[in-house]
Amino acid sequence: MGKKILSVLFALCGSVCIAQNINPAEISKFSIEGSRKQVKLAKEYSEKYALNNKGELEIVTIKEYPGKTKHDLWVKIQNWILSSSSNSQSSVQLMDETLGIIIERCFIPEIAKRSMGDNSYKVSIRPMLKFEFKDGRIRFTFSLQNYEVIKKNDDGGYGLLLSGGVVITGNGVTKDNMIWKLTECYPFKEDYNEEVENDIFRPKVTSSRAYINSIACYKVLLDQMDEVINKVDKDNSNW
């Protein structure tokens, strides 16, 4: 009864808010430096990590944990998620031990940054993480629908008046919150389509960096999951 109540509460309101702890140093272990290298690696990755028929990046991995029961695995992943640092932009969608499923919408901020003249970009992601449990195994699905981008443009400047005064020109610093579909971005789109009116093609290097680092986040989460499952629990019975 308790399990059913818990799962219903999570499913109805998604009120438990979390974000997995992923820092830049962890991402860098699975990433690469240099714009040209990033573009090349993104192209190579696109053959292995292609988009599904919905235009989403979906990576599915089955991890084996011999000797661990379904219940053991579920409890460890549940505790890992609930003990992660809080973030109001992330939430648990479903947590049901009977079904053997945990689904989390996870916000990971600023996985990629780039400055281009007066423009700068900061890319965050909000992947869906799905854990499915059986005795001795977990099926982990990482799904990413789009990139969440903050673009800043600084076209401010100064001009000299004939009188010797100074005037501010341009619009100063402006900020746009943008959603980039993966299908609009390299490596899944090579360039503008001149035959399509108002066609969209996102900056190539920024898109490559976001794509590579999204996959890096997936790999970091796999490593964290292994660490959580294989960690030996302390005996707290003597208190």
The closest alpha carbon to 220, from 12, 63, 20, belongs to 20
Tell me the pTM.
0.82
- Per-residue pLDDT tens digits for 167-188: 455 566 788 999 999 999 999 9
**Contact, 93 vs 14, CB < 8 A?**
yes
Tell me the DSSP string of 18-43. ------HHHHHTT---SHHHHHHHHH
> Strand 57-64 and strand 91-96: pairing?
unpaired
Domains of the chain: 2-230 (3.30.530.80)
Of all helices (H) and strands (E), which one includes residue 143?
strand 137-144
For residue 179, give every residue at least 6 positions away whose Cβ sits within 8 Å of its Cβ, in sequence order, or none.
146, 147, 148, 149
How confident is the model at residue 5, as a pLDDT? 38
CA angle, residues 228, 106, 98, in degrees to nearest 5: 60
Reported as a single tens digit per residue, the pLDDT across 98-129 is 999 999 999 999 999 998 778 899 999 999 99
Q: What share of the chain is helix, strand, coil (3-state, %, to 5)?
A: 30, 30, 35
3-state secondary structure at position 168: strand
Contact 155, 171 (CB under 8 A): yes
Return per-residue pLDDT of the chain as tens, 239 residues.
Answer: 444 434 433 333 333 344 567 888 999 999 999 999 999 999 999 999 999 999 999 999 999 999 999 999 999 999 998 887 555 556 888 999 999 999 999 999 999 999 877 889 999 999 999 999 999 999 999 999 999 999 998 765 455 555 555 445 556 678 899 999 999 999 999 887 877 878 888 999 999 999 999 999 999 999 999 999 998 776 666 66
